[in-house]
Amino acid sequence: MRHSFLPIRRLALAFLLCAALDVTTSAAGAGTPPPDFQIGQSLQVPGLRLPAGTKVVQVTRADVTGDQTEDVVLLVGQTRPDNPAFYAQLNVLVRDGRTGRYAALPRKQIENYLSGYQPAMFLGDFSGDKLSDVLVTVATGGSGGTSNHLLASWKNNDPHVLFGEQENQGLRIKGRFRDGFQAELYSAVLDKTFIVDVSGYKQQFIEAGIYDQNGKYIYERPQNGGPNTYDIFSDPFSSLVPVDQDNDATYELVGKQSVWGPIHVFTFTTVQSTWALQNKKWTVTDASYTLTYRIK
């Protein structure tokens, strides 16, 4: 069952498919052919402070600086001997095709945000300036199934984050359960409140002591010696995929988030939202929620 709570046209979803580094550059020799990079190779660049054990995770080529010359774009990170599937200190390096210099995202912009499993990189224009931006996705590996997403621009050789840890919180939904098997949800991003019927989970909520047989909300979880302000929360994005929904060669981001409460095991709805970068600000152009009930 899918419900729209933002009166904007729906879309057809199509799947296309970091302590990191200070901005430092290194000349590799202007006019020399770019080196070949192999996935998994250890990487050290003169003049660029890379953590020991940095390896190439993914490599692609595109003009991301805007000088009409193809650049080399590298997703790099570290693996652990005891857990080679986990990547730490992920970052993006760009080798400028014209000057041969390397640049990385600044440490203060990404902190340790990009760490996890199955890192992937996608290049496309999200800002409408006809230049490719770099989207990185990495699964956190937590029980909530969330992923960290980062979108960055290298326009004019100025690497900076367009979409980071704060934006990855999505619609920022909080709420409270109400009597009668209803959930009142509020999105700070949309500044909208909407009511969700959770009676499809009636039996599970009764057995867990969240509601009584008459539909009265009875769950209490002390917080700082008093009642909770909120019993319902949203996770960060579990998925965030690029979609060119209006075929204008500029991508939007379509994300899904789980909404749960009063404990994380009870995820009772999924929200989907579409985000467009307009006038240097992210705007939600579509949002809806879906309820999935177990079929007995």
DSSP 4-58: E-S-S-----------------EE--TTSPPPP--TT-B--BTTB-PPTT-EEEE
Please give the model's pTM, rounded to 2 decimal places: 0.84
Please tell me the distance from the alpha carbon of residue 82 to that of residue 33, in angstroms, as a whole number. Answer: 37
| Per-residue model confidence (pLDDT) at position 2 | 60
Mean pLDDT computed over every residue of the chain: 85
Q: Which of 1-5, 246-250, 252-256 has the lowest mean pLDDT?
A: 1-5
CB 87 within 8 A of CB 77: yes
The tens digit of pLDDT for each residue in 190-202 reads 999 999 999 999 9
Residue 184 predicted with pLDDT over 90: yes
The tens digit of pLDDT for each residue in 105-131 reads 987 888 778 999 999 999 999 999 999
Please tell me the distance from the alpha carbon of residue 216 to that of residue 194, in angstroms, as a whole number. Answer: 20
Angle ∠(75,257,149) on CA atoms, nearest 5: 15
